[in-house]
């Protein structure tokens, strides 16, 4: 039996399917991925 795992993007909370085919996971898009990276680069995150 196959189950689909749905997760929320950590930046915008959009619901996405957790899949190896989602190249931005755990984010919903490249935009959210870059927002997260920017936070790390500006030391806003630990």
- Give the pLDDT confidence of 1-46 residue by residue, as tens digits: 789 999 999 999 999 999 999 999 999 999 999 999 999 888 866 5
* Residue 27 belongs to domain with CATH number: 3.30.50.10
**Residue 31 belongs to a domain:** yes
Which residue segment(s) compose the domain that 12 sits in? 6-41
Please give the annotated binding residues for Zn(2+), written as ranges. 9, 12, 28, 32
Separation between Cα atoms, residue 28 and residue 7, nearest integer Å: 10
- pLDDT value at residue 42: 86
Burial of 27 (0-12, 13-18, 19+ CB in 10 A): buried
**Residue 20 belongs to a domain:** yes
Separation between Cα atoms, residue 36 and residue 44, nearest integer Å: 9
Please give the annotated binding residues, written as ranges. 9, 12, 28, 32
φ, ψ for residue 11 (rounded to 5)? Answer: -95, -55
Total domains, the chain:
1
**Residue 46 belongs to a domain:** no
**Residue 37 belongs to a domain:** yes
- pLDDT value at residue 31: 97
- pLDDT value at residue 46: 58
- pLDDT value at residue 36: 94
């Amino acid at each position: 039996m196959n189950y689909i795992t749905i997760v929320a993007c950590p930046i915008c909370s959009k619901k996405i399917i957790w899949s190896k085919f989602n190249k931005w996971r755990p984010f919903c898009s490249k935009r959210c991925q870059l927002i997260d990276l920017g936070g790390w680069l500006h030391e806003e995150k630990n």
